[in-house]
Amino acid sequence: MTVWPYLLVGVLATYLWRGLGVLLSGRINADSALLRWFTAVAYAMLAGLIARLIILPAGPLAHVALWERGLAAVTALAVYLLTRRNIIFGVAAGTATLILCLQF
């Protein structure tokens, strides 16, 4: 079985929307009510996903205690905010905290 037709359809679908985005980007008002709503929905979905990963994780993370996951998340958020919203430092701090918790 060949995967080329599926790959081609996936590429076309992806680049179609990207191309439309490029064409329309100059005409879209970033402060419009509709885009603010989309932004709010995107942030809400991200917050829900993060909460689910912390409270009801799947896979290997499910074997880590809730307090360890919570401590790693709080540490990541604190470092992120203390380093002027540097996502790399926040993620690194959360990861390091989780690794340290699992060592003891």
Domain count, the chain: 1
In a domain, 9, yes or no: no
Predicted confidence at residue 1, as pLDDT, reads 66
At position 78, the amino acid (one-letter code) is: A
Per-residue confidence (pLDDT) for residue 42, from 0 to 100? 96
Q: Take residue 12 and report the two structure tokens written for it.
A: 């076309």
Structural domain contains residue 7: no
Backbone phi and psi for residue 4, each to the nearest 5 degrees, phi listed first: -55, -45
Q: How many residues does the chain have?
A: 104
* Type of residue numbered 89: F
Domain that holds residue 51: 30-103
Residue type at position 26: G
pLDDT by position in tens, the chain (length 104): 688 889 999 999 999 999 998 998 888 888 999 999 999 999 999 999 999 999 999 999 999 999 999 999 999 999 999 999 999 999 999 999 999 999 98
Give pLDDT, residue 26.
Answer: 85
On whether residue 73 sits in a domain, the answer given is yes
Task: Look at residues 7, 102, 21, 96 and name the one whose alpha carbon lies nearest to residue 61.
Answer: 102
Is 38 within a domain? Answer: yes
pLDDT at 61: 92
